[in-house]
Structure 1
Amino acid sequence: MKPRFLTSHYAWIQGCYWMAYCILLSFSSVYLLDQGFSNTQIGLLLGLSGLLTALLQPFVGARADHLKVLSLGQFAALLILAMLLCTGGLLLLPGQAVQGGLFLSLLILLQLLTSLLYALGMDCVNQGMPLNFGLARGVGAGSYALASTLCGSAATAFGPKCIPVLLGGATLLLLAAALSFRPGTPAKQAAPP
C-alpha cells in the first residue's frame, strides 16, 4: 500500500467499525424490544457481554500476539466474518433464545475487535509508517454520527427489522477494509548524526 493511502485506508476501517458499533449498541434496545425482550433482559444481555468480553480479551490478545500464519488484519477479519455470520443468523433464525445468543455473540465479537483494530493502527505508527491515527479515529467518530442518523431514520421508516440489514452492510464493508489492509514496509529511518 502506498504510504499516502495508509491513513485513508485505516480511516475506512475505523469508519466501518464505528458504524457497526453504533448500529449494534445504540440500537440494541430498539431491536431487542421488537424481538420481545424486556428492558431487564436487555440490560442483563449488555452487562453479560461486557463481562464475557473482559474475560476473553486476555486470551484473544495473547493469540493475536503470537500469530504465525495470519496477520493481525487477517485475524481481525476472522472475527468480523464471525460477526457477519451472526448478523445473518439474526435475519434468518427466529426465536428469542436464538436471537439473544446471536446478539450476545455479536456484542462480544464487536468489543473484542476494538483493541485488535487499534493495535493494527498502532503497529503501523510504531514501525514509523505515515499513519495519522487521530485523523482516522476522527473519521470513525463522524461515521458513528452518520450511522446513528441513517439507522434512526431507517428504523423509523422500515421498522426495527432493518437494523440487522444495516449492521450486515457495515460489517461487510469492515470485512473488505480489514482484508485489504496491507500497510507494507516501514518508512526508512534517518540515520543518527
Structure 2
Amino acid sequence: MVVASAFSYISPEEYLAAEATSPIKHEYRDGEVYAIAGGTDAHNQIAGNLYALLRAHLQGTGCRAYFADVKARIEVLNRFYYPDVMVTCDDRDLSSSTFKRHPCLIVEVLSDSTEAFERGDKFTDYRHLESLQEYMLISQTRQQVEVFRRNAEGLWVLHPHCEGEQVSLASVGWEGAIADLYEEVIFSKPELKQSI
C-alpha cells in the first residue's frame, strides 16, 4: 500500500532564506526542515566553555571556532546542521557567514533527546565531510568525552576521556583538562522513581 505524503520539497536556497529570518533554528535534511529544541543550562555552559577555550587557543592561527549559530553544510548529502561547536581552518569557508563546508572539528553536547541521532545518523552524515578530522561528543550528565578521530587509513578511532583526564584535539592542536569543559556545570540529579 502506498501512502500519499504531504511532504513538499524545500530547496537549500529556500531553507537558507527562511532560516535567516526565523526566530527558531532548523536543521535541513534533503528537502525537509526540522526545528531544534532549546538546550539546558548544562548544555549551554559546556559548549560555551569549549568554545572559549578553543577561541583563545586558535587566536592568530587562521582557524576559526563557531558556537551554536553557524551551520555545517554537507553538500554531497544536501544537509545543514547546527553543531554546538565547530572549527574550520579552510579559507574557502570565509565565503559564507552562515554555514561552513570544510570544518576540521565538530562537537556535539549530548542530550537525552538527541544522543541516538548524534551518535548514529548525524555522525554518519558528518563523515561525508572530507575535511573533518575529529568528531567530539560531550556528556552533560557526567564528565565524559568521546573524541572520534579519523586515522591515516580513513577509519574513525574512538578516544574516550573521563573525569580527571586530559582531552586532546589533534585537529586543532589543543589539549586541556576535562574539568575545564565542565567549569560551573551543575549536574542534575536523576529523578527517583517511586515503587508502588
Larger relative contact order (CA 8 Å, sep ≥ 6): 1
TM-score, length basis structure 2: 0.27
TM-score, length basis structure 1: 0.27
- Which one has the bigger strand percentage? 2
- Which one has the bigger helix percentage? 1
